Structure 1
């Protein structure tokens, strides 16, 4: 056997982690929301089970049917692949031990090799053994398995079937080290599409499963008979060793044509059951079969539940009833119409009964009841809207080995299951529920929190999006997703600063308009009539008074619509520009390019003018955030850090303390009148989420030990309504939030650092918002590398409460300053002749 060196990382309670500044928990979207390729029960310990996800990590089952995420702590920016779980295994002799193969991709997208992680306390702490190759938790074929298995007679022995032609690996020290099994030569050479230019479908699928025969003899303290499946649709896809892995041969008489997906041992029958499909999944499968292999006699039997024209799908999920030998359930991998199909047999596959059949087309007999009380949106947005009630991508279906009534199966949407499975054999009607409480596997693509409006708007992949009206709603799964229109994915969302009930969102689909608007804070929606069916994706910004939408689309450049009119091209901005609207001045929009140019518009996005050198040495703009209550104040995230402007982007100062920043946001601070700035970037504790209440004079690590995966894939949004509350939208773990205490001294004195010299060549343009009046002067901008930037633009703007010490109750509030709002403790009377005018419940201003 060929050995390799490993790197071990012990993450135990005895270690000294960075002290967390916050306690993070999930917003309860509920229902899972993503693909769960595998569920594994412990064979002898009651209630011990785990669910693996393709991009959201590993979850442990709780006694109340809920789940707990257990891999967050090891999924850092550098090790974001630990949320991709390609296999999971339990130690039959020790229910506290759990193992998983982690890694997201095997292609060039992912710079990291995979790992085998192990825990001896049910996932509370982990040790990590890095592998010399990649693992593909989100690659094709991820529903096969399990590729990882612990010898039932020797806890030190663990086998792992690798991808990419790397073969079979073995550990003899409980997962501390692994070595290649040189005697095993099959590699699973199937490639979905060798010509795939996107570098996703052009890798070898590798090995599909490892299954020990616990009924076989012991050789040198190890189980003698081991079966290994490979992603090969020939008569050599299933291999066996009868000498504890010393030698291997293809199992005689095995079926060809299809790829094996699941292989499970029924020890009392001394038989293997296997499901097959003509594709490796999880999206394909138009034919397949189910087979039983009698180990004693060495014979195969085709027990496929249907044949002929009724066989138009492959098979994935397979569950054996260990309490009742000969009883099993199997599921179609993908039956895209009219629904998935699940079959049950009580005689080892000789006969089957389906979970539904035709009552005379188009009517169906449903031998089940399906509800989703724990996640109502699953019912309203999906079950009631689609013929595929039972789901799709069913690669895992399990019967609790200690409870014949308890079963679980997973789809591309949720985890279903129930506690009366044996009723199938009597009244032939079972109760199915969405049982995914605690699994939050959504990829969050856009977030917003509107001061005086909806507390949280979350645009997500695959499940469209969700609205949480108040902070009190965060613990309750929504009754409905974003609908009318409902898309597979919403990719961005924004609110109007002066009219926060007005919201816009965009989708990434095609064939229908991908812009929707709401006038009630995202409770209900209407399709925007100003776009066609070809434009899609990107980012969106809506003006302060909600009359203009600027859309940086994914395929048609930057577009603009006024008063719900037709979207037209904005010629002055490059494709892919980062965009934002001023939240108080209706006529002002901001933009940035991937080549670091900053732009601004003073005519509601009709035209944009570049501000040369505004961002110093930055080479790309990642994010732009306008102050929610102060006109003209904005922050820009770049590859070198965060820049701040208080004059509508005419000049900028760079904040110190963090660099290479990604998503940024402002949120109501714990100190009255102050706003916290949140930034994903590189700081004192590495690549993490930081916050400052003093414009960068001091930063606090508010992430602590919570893992968010790759920081470049996340969205951060500070609450516009709840002091100190912040949200993180992750790429696979839903939305997490926390209450943070961000303290800091007085903000630093800012100085202009832009290298811009302006020469005014046009008459002032006065733009009037319903909430504020701001005079801007358009300029022809000239750059000079030898002079300090100054700006001659005439700008009147409200002063930010974070740029000066908080006023006291005995002072008069100056012009443009805050003078009221919920939680505000400063002066409420303005200097003459100005009066305190309410902007929203949280902010009043001297105007």
Structure 2
């Protein structure tokens, strides 16, 4: 995900809450403004859902946490999720990265979220615990004196945040980075370190890689309601589990835990998740050699275990499923118990990459297990359920079934797996792309075996009455949107993780237009918007980075790849106003930009541009293409073949994520500048002469993205939309007078953290704006 660094500081061991409920009324913009209504362009998730939390005492009260898009609450009447953290402002952007959630089982209106983006230098902010007394409609904030990592390795472990069911004013929080165990005794308002807890963890994935170098710390907290014990899992293979029998006053290492949880088959493993059966008196713990979510499967024979601890006797029993089709025993991702049927539990693999993830189910406390699918032969498998991706047709990734490897999979990165404590038939699980679920789960137990033998002793598939698993992600939107092109009736998006989409119906999930292509940049021909070009990252040595459509995105043809361009070099792409020339500037390479006069079938090197320059075409003059690099602005007057520095001065040398060209106005270029460095100029610049001279827009202090839409009047200048700071206020702004005046069009309930790195208006609908936020958000004048 794109990131921005801010700095704060807190140092007290006990930190007080700041009462900052999510506002519902807009602050007025610098010039006042129209009221806007906001919706998502529907993709249905498109990112990682590491946690699904059912309230244990109130039916249908369910929360989902995402790694980059905030928290959500289930709405049973519509079977959709409601976003709860769109109020997060840009300076607190990390609050949309949710580490853990806890739903109060006693006072069920109370809910909590531990938040924070990164525990390393990428993020200058500390984490926080958000608390709500109205199911997430409004929130208070308890800031913490350490960072939390909602988008760090290990974010699917936990839950790190837990409410004590015996005293619901008391919460526990497991911290990363050696910060230990923390506790609140006043419903999450203030927090203090549990000084008596002896082990802050020590497990590091890779000390030589900054992203993987953090101590995973204290992982989860669970409560034995039979004996009143509190269990805490720690990322320390030599000492992975602790227990308190006196309400958290003192803590002891659990005997036998190191052998059971920390050293599976001679490999160092850690206890990723736990689940308690408070009827039979069991604590179930899954382990893996990697905290996930990217690794965790059987690497070099390394895997994990499922261990069962009798909370009354202290006896450990290894209940690891004995069979993983064609692979070593995997690392596990999640574990859940059926509270309506004690003794029934399920677990998932984590990144069992081929041919699919596996869900395991036991109805006898782990003594025996059945699998969600099994191999009949190398290329034939039999399944307990059908995966129905109708509501998210893109989940086939534009692939087809290939033997035992299906295009639509159980998923990957399965670490959020939960059986409804009130309904044994309902289960949901999060993946790296969606949430799957069913309300027919117990049919599994009547199906019997999947594989048998015929008279010749050969493995054969047995008949199974399969149930259906479908998408349960509606309302969650979290795609990594890198660019947008609004053509009027058609919206095209380039996305980093899920490639890209062509939407003709904003309220329906479409099939992605490209597979295996991490979209970066889009452009269309001003005189013929049916002609669209896109650039993206590819991970094949032969695949082209540029793709072209001549029928408004219905079909696409990949361009060839110039010699020497490496993988992952999507960069930016432009097409001249007459659709005759494509200019492509790859990134992550020392190759200078290229141009093509045959829609990418052959390429020639551009003259006069440095490698990695950003390129855009003029919207009127087909001979003009623009470029920016390192504070210099370039122009081509021969359709992108050669470029020259315009000699412009005063532009920022860094912090320019993009510049855009106004439609219908020859030579009108707008450039955004943002930076965290005080010595670097920030703001919004405008040129009316093709980039030779520039005027800084005085009211704009910092600009992230700029785009254009239909003018307010027949002969007016295109409406300009920016994500910016205007006169000291951050937000989404619109100008209809060429940037002379601005109005803020979003409100404090709709801020979406760091939003608007790509933003554009609609060419046919005045006032409509599309922007990158939590996925793609669009707004209309209410």
Q: Which residue of 2 aligns with 1:662?
A: 704
Q: Which residue of 2 aligns with 1:291?
A: 307
Q: Which residue of 2 aligns with 1:205?
A: 216
Pick from 596, 605, 625 the counterpart of residue 589 of structure 1.
625
Contact 1:515 1:531 in 2 (8 A): no
Q: Which residue of 2 aligns with 1:300?
A: 316
Q: Cα gap change, 1:170/1:382 in structure 2, threshold over 3 Å: closer, same or farther?
A: farther
Distance 1:133 1:18 in 2: 34
Q: Cα gap change, 1:195/1:610 in structure 2, threshold over 3 Å: closer, same or farther?
A: same
Deviation per CA, 1:581-606: give whole Å up to 9, x if none. 01221110111223x22211101111
Contact 1:161 1:169 in 2 (8 A): yes
Pick from 94, 102, 119 the counterpart of residue 106 of structure 1.
119
Q: Cα gap change, 1:722/1:531 in structure 2, threshold over 3 Å: closer, same or farther?
A: farther
- Alignment of structure 1 residues 442-481 onto 2, 5 Å: 442-450=479-487, 455-469=490-504, 473-478=505-510, 480-481=511-512
Distance 2:74 2:624 in 1: 50
Distance 2:506 2:288 in 1: 41
Distance 1:476 1:431 in 2: 21
Contact 1:449 1:456 in 2 (8 A): yes
Distance 2:597 2:24 in 1: 59
Residue 643 (structure 1) shift: 2.5
Say if 2:746 is the partner of 1:703: yes
- Alignment of structure 1 residues 151-230 onto 2, 5 Å: 151-196=164-209, 199-217=210-228, 225-230=229-234
TM-score, normalised by the number of residues in structure 2: 0.88
Say if 2:555 is the partner of 1:539: no
Pick from 724, 730, 747 the counterpart of residue 687 of structure 1.
730
Q: Which residue of 2 aligns with 1:398?
A: 418
In structure 2, the residue corresponding to 1:487 is in which secondary structure?
Answer: coil
Residue 318 (structure 1) shift: 1.3
Contact 2:723 2:756 in 1 (8 A): no
Say if 2:248 is the partner of 1:240: no
Residue 718 (structure 1) shift: 1.0
Residue 334 (structure 1) shift: 1.4
Residue 618 (structure 1) shift: 7.4
Deviation per CA, 1:557-598: give whole Å up to 9, x if none. 42222223433333412233222101221110111223x222
Say if 2:363 is the partner of 1:346: yes
Contact 1:291 1:303 in 2 (8 A): yes
Contact 2:36 2:745 in 1 (8 A): no
Q: Cα gap change, 1:359/1:71 in structure 2, threshold over 3 Å: closer, same or farther?
A: same
- Alignment of structure 1 residues 438-837 onto 2, 5 Å: 438-450=475-487, 455-469=490-504, 473-478=505-510, 480-483=511-514, 486-511=515-540, 512-532=543-563, 534=566, 536-556=569-589, 557-563=592-598, 564-594=600-630, 596-615=631-650, 621-638=656-673, 639-674=681-716, 675-684=718-727, 686-709=729-752, 711=754, 714-730=757-773, 733-740=774-781
Q: Cα gap change, 1:213/1:616 in structure 2, threshold over 3 Å: closer, same or farther?
A: closer
Residue 621 (structure 1) shift: 3.9
Distance 1:726 1:15 in 2: 20
Q: Which residue of 2 aligns with 1:359?
A: 376
- Which deviates the most, 241-250 or 637-646? 637-646
Q: Which residue of 2 aligns with 1:415?
A: 435
Deviation per CA, 1:96-130: give whole Å up to 9, x if none. 11101100100001010000001111111000011
Distance 2:272 2:671 in 1: 49
Residue 608 (structure 1) shift: 1.4
Residue 262 (structure 1) shift: 1.1
Q: Which residue of 2 aligns with 1:122?
A: 135
Q: Cα gap change, 1:14/1:312 in structure 2, threshold over 3 Å: closer, same or farther?
A: closer
**How many residue pairs get matched?**
719
Say if 2:79 is the partner of 1:65: yes
Q: Cα gap change, 1:160/1:621 in structure 2, threshold over 3 Å: closer, same or farther?
A: closer
Residue 359 (structure 1) shift: 1.6
Q: Cα gap change, 1:269/1:559 in structure 2, threshold over 3 Å: closer, same or farther?
A: same
Q: Which residue of 1 aligns with 2:452?
A: none
Distance 1:99 1:161 in 2: 14
In structure 2, the residue corresponding to 1:81 is in which secondary structure?
Answer: helix
Say if 2:274 is the partner of 1:263: yes
Contact 1:578 1:621 in 2 (8 A): no
Deviation per CA, 1:59-78: give whole Å up to 9, x if none. 111103211110111x2110
Residue 24 (structure 1) shift: 4.5
Contact 2:41 2:777 in 1 (8 A): no
Contact 2:276 2:284 in 1 (8 A): yes
Contact 2:347 2:360 in 1 (8 A): yes
- Which deviates the most, 648-657 or 185-194? 648-657
Q: Cα gap change, 1:740/1:673 in structure 2, threshold over 3 Å: closer, same or farther?
A: farther
Distance 1:562 1:16 in 2: 49
Residue 15 (structure 1) shift: 7.9
Residue 310 (structure 1) shift: 4.5
Q: Cα gap change, 1:620/1:419 in structure 2, threshold over 3 Å: closer, same or farther?
A: closer
Q: Cα gap change, 1:24/1:210 in structure 2, threshold over 3 Å: closer, same or farther?
A: farther
TM-score, normalised by the number of residues in structure 1: 0.82
Distance 2:271 2:656 in 1: 47
Say if 2:61 is the partner of 1:42: no
Residue 22 (structure 1) shift: 4.2
Q: Which residue of 2 aligns with 1:792?
A: none
In structure 2, the residue corresponding to 1:500 is in which secondary structure?
Answer: strand
Distance 1:530 1:284 in 2: 31
Q: Cα gap change, 1:706/1:273 in structure 2, threshold over 3 Å: closer, same or farther?
A: same
Contact 1:22 1:738 in 2 (8 A): no
Contact 1:665 1:678 in 2 (8 A): yes
Deviation per CA, 1:307-328: give whole Å up to 9, x if none. 5874341111212110000011
Q: Cα gap change, 1:169/1:505 in structure 2, threshold over 3 Å: closer, same or farther?
A: same
Q: Which residue of 2 aligns with 1:138?
A: 151
Distance 1:458 1:144 in 2: 32
Give me the CA root mean square deviation: 2.2
Distance 2:291 2:66 in 1: 17
Residue 693 (structure 1) shift: 0.6
Distance 2:153 2:697 in 1: 43
Deviation per CA, 1:651-701: give whole Å up to 9, x if none. 333333112212111111333333111112221352222111112221101
Larger radius of gyration: 1
Q: Which residue of 1 aligns with 2:338?
A: 321
Contact 2:686 2:695 in 1 (8 A): yes
Distance 1:292 1:24 in 2: 51
Q: Cα gap change, 1:12/1:25 in structure 2, threshold over 3 Å: closer, same or farther?
A: closer
In structure 2, the residue corresponding to 1:424 is in which secondary structure?
Answer: helix
- Which deviates the most, 644-653 or 45-54? 644-653
- Alignment of structure 1 residues 420-431 onto 2, 5 Å: 420-427=440-447, 429-431=466-468
Structure 2: runs of 5 or more not aligned: 1-10, 264-268, 449-465, 674-680
Distance 2:723 2:160 in 1: 35
In structure 2, the residue corresponding to 1:440 is in which secondary structure?
Answer: coil
Deviation per CA, 1:592-640: give whole Å up to 9, x if none. 223x222111011111121223546776644221122232222222343
Q: Which residue of 2 aligns with 1:10?
A: 20
Distance 1:645 1:200 in 2: 40
Distance 2:24 2:49 in 1: 32
Q: Which has the higher contact order (CA 8 A, sep 6+)?
A: 2
Residue 214 (structure 1) shift: 2.0
Residue 709 (structure 1) shift: 4.5
Distance 2:735 2:276 in 1: 56
Residue 358 (structure 1) shift: 1.2
